[in-house]
Amino acid sequence: MLKINRENLKSSHQLTWLIIDFLMLGLLIINLAFIIWDSIYNFIAIQNVLKEYLPAIQALYHPIHENFIFYDVMFVGVFLAEFFLRWGYSVKAKVYDRWYFYPFIHWYDLVGCIPVGSLRFLRVLRVISIVYRLHQYKIIDVSSTGIYRFVNFYYEAFMEELSDRIVAKVLSGVQHEIKLGSPLFEKIQNDILYPRREMLSGWISHRVAQAAQEGYIPNRGALRSYLENRVDRALEQNVELSRLKYLPVVGSTIKETLEDAVGDIVANVIQQILEDLASSSNHGFIEDIVNAFIHKPGESDNSEVRNEALIALIIEIIDAIKGQVRVKRWREQLP
């Protein structure tokens, strides 16, 4: 239910205008109800029903219906008086940069005063503007009403559907242009990626170090055992190494020593690589990879594979964005 905040109404510096707003709001509601009722009464069938079942009401209202324009003009006179009063105030208070801006900005107030057919229903816009103004001054809170929540929900749903379709269409066009070799690809590479290669290197370096620390260091012992077992199995299947055991006296010893040495070397090399990746010393290595991937603007790039890889990366990023755009947030709010 719509509630009036009396404290804000009393403390407002626009008290006089807010009281006028309430009076005009009441008149507009009465006038619109009058217009709707007269439009319904205009049907002969309605007049016949009233004449048969409620003849007193029909006899009382029929003269008003025949002079509807006269009664409506009485309302229009009040609306125009209020319009020119506000216009004069806006000129005096210099609300707008030019004195003639007011009627253009509040055109619906002026056009709605024309007592002709469907133009009368533009007075609904004046009702909306007054309600919005009262809401802005926190005199009323329309957001707490069921009508507002209902209208706002479907308005947001409509705008989300519309914007999602537009964004998806634009992104599909960008993907198509990139595939055709549009200058957009060069712009992304030269003006966006290349100037930010330091940031990319730092971010990738941090992520690699974090992944190595979380994935490798807690499982270092298990990984070393796994590597040594794999190396031992590979050496056992090596024909040349297996022949060493046929050497007299020292054959088996040499074979076992080589297996242990090779397994230890491989495990130590892998361990050292992962430890380097898990530390801040990986930045130089990552930076070299990023620089090789994103070359300097103006340099000749004969590697079509590198270009294709970057194009594929950009297209996949756009696909991910399109996938996120397709998520319908408004459906999550449905009961």
The residues pairing with 4 across neighbouring beta strands, listed in sequence order, are 140
> By CB neighbour count within 10 A (0-12 exposed, 13-18 middle, 19+ buried), where does 235 fall?
middle
Reading the block at residue 77, the tokens are: 């006179």
Average of per-residue pLDDT across 7-33: 83
The residue ranking higher by pLDDT, 241 or 321, is: 321
Q: Report the phi/psi class of residue 117: left, alpha or beta, with left for phi > 0 and alpha for psi in -120 to 50.
A: left
Residue 295 is classified by DSSP as P
Instruction: Kindly state the DSSP code that residue 189 receives in the 8-state scheme.
Output: I
Which sequence spans correspond to the domains of the chain?
Answer: 6-144, 175-332
Say what the pLDDT of residue 170 is: 85
Mean pLDDT of the chain: 78
The tens digit of pLDDT for each residue in 125-178 reads 888 888 888 887 777 777 777 788 888 888 888 888 888 888 888 888 888 877
pLDDT digits (tens, 9 = 90+) for 268-285: 777 676 666 666 666 666
Instruction: Note the pLDDT of residue 78.
Output: 94
Nearest to 184 by CA among 194, 197, 174: 174
Q: With 60 as the cut, is the pLDDT of residue 250 above it?
A: no
Closest CA to 181 of 292, 314, 297: 314
Alpha-carbon distances, residue 308 vs 13, 234, 315, 318 (angstroms):
65, 37, 10, 15
Residue 84 predicted with pLDDT over 90: yes
pTM of structure:
0.52
**String of DSSP letters for 129-168:** HHHHHHHHTTSB-GGGSHHHHHHHHHHHHHHHHHHHHHHH
Task: For residue 140, report the phi and psi dihedrals to the nearest 5 degrees.
Answer: -130, 160
Per-residue confidence (pLDDT) for residue 322, from 0 to 100: 82
How far is it, in rounded angstroms, from Cα 295 to Cα 292? Answer: 6
pLDDT in tens, 28-48: 999 999 999 999 999 999 999
Q: Which of 212, 201, 203, 200 is nearest to 279 (CA)?
A: 212
Q: How confident is the model at residue 27 (pLDDT cuts 50, 70, 90)?
A: very high
